[in-house]
Chains A and B, each alone.
Chain A
Amino acid sequence: DQQVKQNSPSLSVQEGRISILNCDYTNSMFDYFLWYKKYPAEGPTFLISISSIKDKNEDGRFTVFLNKSAKHLSLHIVPSQPGDSAVYFCAGMYGGSQGNLIFGKGTKLSVKP
C-alpha cells in the first residue's frame, strides 16, 4: 500500500518558469509533510515542510501547498533555475515528533537553460 504517491517520475521545465511537483497521499493520519531534494551522489537534503493544520508554507522561491480534502500537496518553485535540477521526494509523517517518514518514489526535475 503506497501511502505517498508521486505519479510523475520526471518533469522538464525551462529556466525562469514555474516548476510544480505534485504529491498525493492516502494516510489521513499524516500530521506533517516534508520535501527533500537529492542530487546525484549525495544524500537527500531537507527543502521545505508544512504542518497538516496549514495550507501553505513559503521559503524564498519554494512554496508548498496542502489540500487536505483532496489529500494532495504540491511544491512550487518560482523562478526555476538550472541548479534546481534534482530528484524531489515528498514525505509524510504521523505520530508527532517521534514519527517516521514515509517517502514517495520521487520526481526528477530537469530545468533547462
Chain B
Amino acid sequence: EAQVTQNPRYLITVTGKKLTVTCSQNMNHEYMSWYRQDPGLGLRQIYYSMNVEVTDKGDVPEGYKVSRKEKRNFPLILESPSPNQTSLYFCASKTFGLAGRGGGYNEQFFGPGTRLTVL
C-alpha cells in the first residue's frame, strides 16, 4: 500500500530534550516536506526537500532541523524543544512526474500526523 508513515504518533516530552520524528514514504517520491498545524493558523511548512541531500527552509524553520540521506526518509529533528513547538506535525511527499488523481504532479500525500507536546 502506497503510504507515508510517521513515528511516533504521539509524544510528550520536556523542554530541551532532543527528539526525532521519523517520516518514511514507499512511493519513490522525490519531494518531501514537513508541516505543523496549529489552531487558527492552518498548515505551515517547516522544511522541504527536493531530493536526496537537497533541503530548504519553509515558512517556520526556527528550532527544527532535517536531513535527507535516503530518498524514502525525511526525519524532523528538534535539538532543544520548547513549549511553543507543541503542535500537530505532518510529513508529506510528492513526485515530480505525472501521477495522482490531481491531474499531474501537484498532489502531496500526507502522513497520519504526530501530536507533540513539550512541557
Q: Which residues of A contact B (CB under 8 A)?
A: 6, 9, 32, 34, 36, 41-46, 48-49, 51, 57, 59, 89, 93, 97-101, 103-106
Task: Tell whether B58 is near chain A: CB-to-CB under 8 Å.
Answer: yes
Q: How many chain B residues touch A (Cβ–Cβ < 8 Å)?
A: 30
CB closest chain-A residue, reference B44: A103
CB pair A103–B107 under 8 Å, yes or no, is: no
Contacts of B96 in A (CB 8 A): 97-98
Contacts of A32 in B (CB 8 A): 106
CB pair A103–B42 under 8 Å, yes or no, is: yes
User: Number of residue pairs across A and B with beta carbons under 8 Å?
Assistant: 65
In the complex, which residues 27-61 of chain B have their Cβ closer than 8 Å to any Cβ of chain A?
Answer: 31, 33, 35, 40-45, 48, 50, 58
CB pair A49–B113 under 8 Å, yes or no, is: no
**Selected A-B contacts with CB under 8 Å, 23 pairs:** A32-B106, A36-B110, A41-B112, A43-B112, A44-B110, A45-B110, A46-B100, A46-B101, A46-B109, A48-B102, A49-B103, A49-B106, A49-B107, A97-B105, A98-B31, A100-B45, A100-B48, A100-B58, A101-B108, A103-B44, A104-B42, A105-B42, A106-B42
Report if A43-B113 is in contact (Cβ < 8 Å); known contacts: A34-B102, A98-B50: yes
CB pair A42–B101 under 8 Å, yes or no, is: no
* Shortest Cβ gap from A44 to chain B (Å): 5
CB closest chain-B residue, reference A42: B112
Q: How far is the CA of A73 from the CA of B104 in the complex (A)?
A: 20
Task: Tell whether B74 is near chain A: CB-to-CB under 8 Å.
Answer: no
CB closest chain-A residue, reference B108: A101
Q: How far is the CA of A34 from the CA of B112 in the complex (A)?
A: 19
CB pair B102–A105 under 8 Å, yes or no, is: no
Contacts of A6 in B (CB 8 A): 42
